[in-house]
């Protein structure tokens, strides 16, 4: 059976590290945001550092989490910005291709995909013919992530530079709200992304992402016909 490269090595690496950053930032962020519930975690992390910081383990853990949250937040931002610029400059930013379709086609595609994911309904042939490497759900999820990232980045930088910029308590509270909102949007993105990724219809795509980047041609015929036509991929070996 012919297999086709649908995910580049750089994309798989960026995707994997994106997962790492989101997971780590979520853990540190939730601990800082709800320390009354996660003081035990701060205690575990802070216990080795408490004697050197002349404070209790929970306070030490909070400080460690705060520093790590900032470091990894900057690193995640760098990954998103640098890789996003690379995709744009190289002409490989294909995730928004589905948004170029007429609204009517986008709605039709969204309804068909919802029927597939929720009720197992087969995709109509006319929808199949227009499916890109990234379908309309993926395109809008990418926009959702972009909004969440923008809120997290701008509010995070503002909070880090709060005293240097002389921001008032009211402004800091607003930035904290925007940061929490950005986190909530990002969590929503992750939940929807995981749901779609783990759906049986997308198993070959999931295996490609965490495997060698290749998917069976027969699967592509049902889920990426426009992608096949764009690159003139033949069914022969």
Average pLDDT over the chain reads 92
Q: Which helix (H) or strand (E) holds 9?
A: helix 9-33
Side-chain half-sphere exposure of 120, counting CA atoms within 13 A: 1
Residues 6+ apart with CB under 8 A from 101: 109, 130, 136
Tokens in use for 178?
């925007």
Return the bridge partners of 4, or none: 215
Q: What is the per-residue pLDDT for 92? A: 84
Tokens in use for 36?
């009354």
Q: Of 57, 66, 78, give the one whose Cα is nearest residue 31.
A: 66
Q: What is the per-residue pLDDT for 237? A: 53
In three-state secondary structure terms, 10 is helix
Output the CA–CA distances (angstroms, integers) from residue 161 to 36, 112, 156, in the order listed.
Answer: 25, 46, 9
Q: Of 68, 69, 49, give the one whose Cα is nearest residue 59.
A: 49
Q: What is the per-residue pLDDT for 91? A: 85
Contact (Cβ atoms closer than 8 angstroms) between residue 145 and residue 186: yes
Residue 182 buriedness (CB in 10 A; 0-12 / 13-18 / 19+): buried
Q: What is the per-residue pLDDT for 97? A: 85
One digit per residue, the tens of pLDDT, for the chain of length 237 reads 789 999 999 999 999 999 999 999 999 999 999 999 999 999 999 999 999 999 999 999 999 999 999 999 999 999 999 999 999 898 888 888 888 899 999 999 999 999 999 998 999 999 999 988 889 999 999 999 999 999 999 999 999 999 999 999 999 999 999 999 999 999 999 999 999 999 999 999 999 999 999 999 999 988 899 889 888 887 765
**What pTM does this model have?**
0.87
Q: What is the per-residue pLDDT for 236? A: 65
């Amino acid at each position: 059976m012919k297999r086709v490269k649908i995910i580049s090595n750089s994309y798989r690496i960026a995707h994997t590290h994106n997962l790492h950053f989101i997971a780590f930032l979520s853990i540190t962020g939730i601990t800082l945001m709800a320390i009354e519930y996660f003081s035990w975690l701060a205690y575990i992390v802070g216990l080795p550092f408490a004697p050197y910081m002349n404070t209790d383990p929970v306070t030490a853990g909070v400080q460690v989490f705060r520093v790590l949250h900032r470091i990894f937040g900057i690193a995640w931002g760098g990954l998103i910005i640098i890789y996003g610029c690379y995709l744009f400059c190289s002409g490989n930013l294909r995730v928004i291709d589905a948004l170029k379709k007429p609204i009517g086609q986008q709605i039709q595609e969204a309804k068909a995909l919802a029927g597939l994911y929720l009720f197992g309904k087969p995709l109509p042939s006319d929808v199949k013919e227009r499916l890109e490497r990234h379908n309309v759900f993926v395109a809008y999820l990418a926009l959702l992530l972009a909004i969440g990232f923008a809120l997290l980045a701008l509010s995070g930088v503002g909070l880090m530079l709060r005293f240097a910029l002389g921001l008032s308590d009211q402004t800091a509270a607003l930035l904290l709200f925007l940061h929490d909102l950005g986190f909530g949007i990002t969590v929503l993105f992750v939940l929807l992304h995981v749901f779609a990724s783990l759906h049986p219809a997308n198993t070959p795509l999931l295996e490609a992402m965490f495997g060698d980047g290749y998917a069976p041609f027969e699967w592509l015929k049902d889920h990426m016909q426009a992608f096949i036509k764009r690159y003139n991929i033949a069914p022969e070996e």
